């Protein structure tokens, strides 16, 4: 039975991407592709997952849906609620904290009029609560915007990045 016929929520592009990942693992170990599948689905859906999309991934990889929900909630890069389309993560871990990360967060909160963990009402920005160190400690303070790293930040540099987004 082909699971594909029953998963119309996944685009051909996403299916091709999942297939590429499944090909890296031994036969019968397609579950290993679940992180990659969720990355692909989330990306195409504007930055967050829905129950329908998670179910479709479960179906496609022949996994129980609960196992996909577990993955989606365990790993911090997956969003299970709607969020703004540009995701901003400011590293506030020790190296960045020592170089003024808290001021960068305050600047962004003021500029966007939201608190960390919230999205702007117009759906443009999501200021994510980032707990991890993002491993760019020698360029502190830093932030990640839509997966891109910006290092040695100042409030002016932050403004320049955010002004450049649609």
- Closest approach, Cβ 121 to other proteins, in A, equals 26
Q: How far is the CB of 49 from other proteins (least distance, A)?
A: 11
What distance in Å separates the CA atoms of residue 141 and residue 137, rounded to the nearest whole number?
8
Instruction: Give yes or no for a contact between 143 and 93, defined as CB atoms under 8 angstroms apart.
Output: no
Q: Does 29 contact other proteins by CB under 8 A?
A: yes
How many residues interact with other proteins (rule CB under 8 A)? 42
Helix, strand, coil shares, percent, the chain, to 5: 50, 10, 45
Q: Which is nearer to other proteins, 106 or 111 (CB)?
A: 106
64 lines the binding site for other proteins (CB under 8 A): no
150: left (phi over 0), alpha (psi -120 to 50) or beta: beta
What order do you get walking across the sheet with 86-90 strand by strand? Answer: 125-128, 86-90, 143-145, 148-150
Q: Which residues, numbered 114-143, are part of the site for other proteins (CB under 8 A)?
A: 131-140
Shortest Å distance, C-beta 130 to other proteins:
9
Residue 149 bridge partners (DSSP): 144
Q: Does 161 bind other proteins (CB under 8 A)?
A: no
Instruction: Note the residues at the interface with other proteins (CB under 8 A).
Output: 24, 26, 29, 31-36, 38-39, 61, 63, 67, 70-71, 74-78, 92-95, 97-99, 131-140, 144, 147-149
């Amino acid at each position: 039975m082909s699971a594909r016929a029953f998963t119309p929520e996944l685009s051909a592009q996403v299916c091709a991407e999942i297939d590429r990942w499944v090909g890296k693992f031994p036969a019968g170990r397609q579950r290993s592709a679940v992180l990659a599948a969720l990355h692909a689905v989330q990306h195409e859906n504007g930055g967050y997952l829905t129950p329908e999309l998670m179910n479709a991934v479960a179906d496609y990889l022949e996994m129980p849906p609960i196992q996909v929900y577990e993955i989606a909630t365990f790993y911090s890069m997956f969003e299970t609620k709607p969020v703004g389309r540009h995701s901003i993560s400011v590293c506030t871990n020790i190296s960045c904290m020592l170089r003024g990360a808290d001021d960068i967060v305050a600047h962004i909160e003021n500029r966007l009029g939201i608190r960390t963990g919230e999205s702007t009402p117009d759906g443009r920005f999501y200021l994510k609560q980032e707990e991890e160190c993002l491993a760019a400690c020698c360029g502190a303070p830093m932030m990640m915007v839509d997966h891109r790293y910006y290092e040695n930040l100042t409030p002016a540099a932050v403004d320049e990045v955010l002004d450049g987004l649609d």
